[in-house]
Amino acid sequence: MSNKDVDIALLFQKVSQENDYKAFEMIFHHFYSPLCNFAIKIVGKPEVAEELVADAFYKIWKNRQNIHLTHTFSSYLYTSVKNHCLDYLKKQNPIFKEISTVTSFLQEENPEKLLIQQELIEKIEKAIETLPDQCKTIFRLSRDKELKYQEIADLLHISVKTVETQMGRALKYLRSSLKNELFVLIGCILNLL
């Protein structure tokens, strides 16, 4: 651990144990610009990147007493910002927007909606089952068990990069294979309205 890492660790210790807002501000000023540059590379929009970084810092301050570091605080920050960026991108993807529209519509119960919901679940399950074994396992651990990429990597004795690559492949495949099905289901729902 470098001296800089030790200094940051001491500052975060003050933040988490003593609620030291000045120490938090020092951490914020030290990391804000590099984290924004990092986030811009992921989301491509400076104003969105700044908002996501600010939100990550807000959540860190809010949960400061419950954060238990397994690596350096710097690693924790970058992982937190990366996750915020990925969540943002998921929400921006039209397929994800359509799925959430369908899901919210299906919250109201009636026989037609329940049938559509069951059909959607079956189509998603069939598509997941056609994934290659490792890809399917990683996808299920991430989505069904809600494990983080690092936890999946540790569990399967593979690198985090492999997990990221396999998740990317799984999502790309599922988007592609479910695109036509989703449009048909949305059409059915619109007919019910």
For the chain, what is the largest distance between any 2 Cα atoms, rounded to a whole number of angstroms? 64
pLDDT in tens, 30-76: 889 999 998 888 888 899 999 999 998 888 888 777 777 677 778 88
Question: Using only C-alpha atoms, what is the Rg of the chain?
Answer: 20
Residue type, 115: L
List the chain domain ranges: 3-92, 94-192
Residue 85, SS3?
helix
Percent of the chain with pLDDT over 90: 19
Fold topology of 94-192: Arc Repressor Mutant, subunit A (1.10.10)
Return the DSSP state at 70.
S
183 and 190 Cβ atoms separated by less than 8 Å: no
Q: What is the pTM of this model?
A: 0.47
Q: In this structure, is the dihedral angle defined by the CA atoms of residues 143, 148, 149 and 150, taken in order, positive or negative?
A: negative
Residue 180 pLDDT > 70: no
Residue 1's pLDDT band (cuts 50, 70, 90): very low
pLDDT in tens, 111-159: 565 666 677 778 788 888 899 999 999 988 888 778 899 999 998 999 9
CATH architecture observed for domain 3-92: Orthogonal Bundle (1.10)
Gap between the Cα atoms of 14 and 165, Å rounded: 37
